[in-house]
Amino acid sequence: MKQPENIGFVSTRFAGTDGVSLEAAKWAEVLWESGHVSHWYAGVLDRDPGVSLCIPEAFFDHAENQWINSQLWGRTRRCAEASRRIRELTEYLKTTLYEFRARFELDILIIENALTIPMHIPLGVAITEFLLETGMPAIAHHHDFQWERQRFQISAVDDYLEMAFPPRVPHLQHVVINQAAREEIAWRKGLPSILVPNVFNFESPPGEVDAYAADVRHALGLLDDDLLILQPTRIVPRKGIENTIHLIRRLRLPRCHLVISHDGGDEGFEYSRQIQHLAHEEGVALKLFGDRMADRRQFNQDGQKIYVLSDLYPHADLVTFPSIYEGFGNALLEAIYFRRPLVTGRYSVYQRDIEPKGFRLPAIDGVVDKRVVEETRHIMENPAYREELVEHNYRIAERFFGYRVLRDSLHSLINNVRNLTE
């Protein structure tokens, strides 16, 4: 890379453990290694206020944006008031983007998913108009597109979807996280893109379990010789948790406990009730741990420890990730990073972008079949084989999904956007 740049990250939220926030932090970490300074713009932020601009109206869950969204989805006609309020909020947010650029003397913007999934129409339009008006070089990092989500298929806002999700801007470099997205953006929008997978810092292996996380099993009510099977996800249908329960029942290993790390979030609780009923019916000991998890360590009002996900992985005897759909699948890389044996689902991105790299993982292809059960049991009952397996998978992940891959990709991306505006 040439001289260091001031880089502005833009999204609706940079906080917590959602995939966008985590991947953006990894990008910023790698850019910092080359001297680039990152600044942050969003509606909710947990970054240093000294290098950030927090605009509450930019958050997708802000009251004004919630009202706008209520007028746009599941219908084909929007009222004049909705159009007026979209324009008003767009103009306001655009002024804040100008302020963001001026305050931190920014050279390049990195737009994190705000031009991808239309959860905040005014912000996406404001970013698009800002880029067209300023000619500022930018990278759009796309995580999940509107055509991948059922709830965005019927809308009264097709004009803005065509304009800004994602936009056609000459000096905007598009980046996707899987091959299917690369093909779809080319077919639907006629836009070229660069594939940069999600990554993990395999160059820096995890250390020993510290004193804070040493009592995770005790907090779960488990004994030392109990088997902890970790499902490190929210309880939502696309995670395929019913297959985890079927697998545990068929393994018939003694003293097994399924621990689900997070609750259902904003997708309701019906699926959670179904999963709890299924576990009871199949005789699988289930522990829901969502009330003791957060994005940072702390204590709750009863004085109990609140843990982060990285506190749980080292205690797991097996990690299950039988997802039906994922944009990428960070939990898969996390389990490999912590050298845990893993059972995955053969979701489409895994089949196309991850499996061919040479990983050795039991994979559920729709249903839990005899092959998956026997392979998983062999891993659980043979420590030497298990150790060989996790080391093999770690080496493969380090090669294809490590920081070196991101370092090389960002080097090219920064040079590309420089050249687009020279």
pLDDT digits (tens, 9 = 90+) for 272-324: 999 999 999 999 999 999 999 988 899 999 999 999 999 999 999 999 999 99
Task: Give me the chain's average pLDDT, please.
Answer: 94
Q: Where are the alpha helices (DSSP H) in 223-323?
A: 241-251, 270-281, 309-312
Beta-bridge mates of residue 261: none
Backbone angles phi, psi at 272, to 5 degrees: -60, -40
Q: Tell me the CA distances in angstroms from 117 to 121, 144, 148, 280, one per residue in order.
A: 9, 6, 9, 37
Tens-digit pLDDT profile for residues 31-52: 999 899 999 999 999 999 999 9
Q: In whole angstroms, what is the distance from residue 390 CA to residue 332 CA?
A: 12
Residue 403 near residue 28, CB atoms below 8 Å? no
Q: How many CB atoms lie within 10 A of CB 190?
A: 8
| Domain ranges (residues) in the chain | 6-199+403-421, 213-401
Greater model confidence, 106 or 265: 106
* Cβ neighbours for 53, distance < 8 A, ≥ 6 positions apart: 39, 40, 41, 96, 99, 100, 103, 104
Identify the CATH class of 213-401.
alpha beta
The reported pTM is 0.91
Closest CA to 338 of 240, 242, 228, 257: 228
Closest CA to 63 of 78, 43, 84, 46: 43
Poorest-confidence range of 174-188, 254-268, 312-326, 334-348? 254-268
pLDDT at 265: 63
Is the pLDDT reported for residue 1 higher than 50?
Answer: no
Tens-digit pLDDT profile for residues 131-170: 999 999 999 999 999 998 888 999 999 999 999 999 999 9
Q: What percent of the chain has pLDDT over 70?
A: 98
Q: How many CB atoms lie within 10 A of CB 184?
A: 17
Beta-bridge mates of residue 344: 321, 363
pLDDT at 386: 97
Instruction: Please tell me if the domain spanning 6-199+403-421 has the same topology as the one spanning 213-401.
Output: yes
Closest CA to 185 of 158, 148, 130: 148
Is the pLDDT reported for residue 412 higher than 50?
Answer: yes
Choices 3.20.20.70, 3.40.50.300, 3.40.50.2000, 3.30.1490.20: CATH for 6-199+403-421: 3.40.50.2000
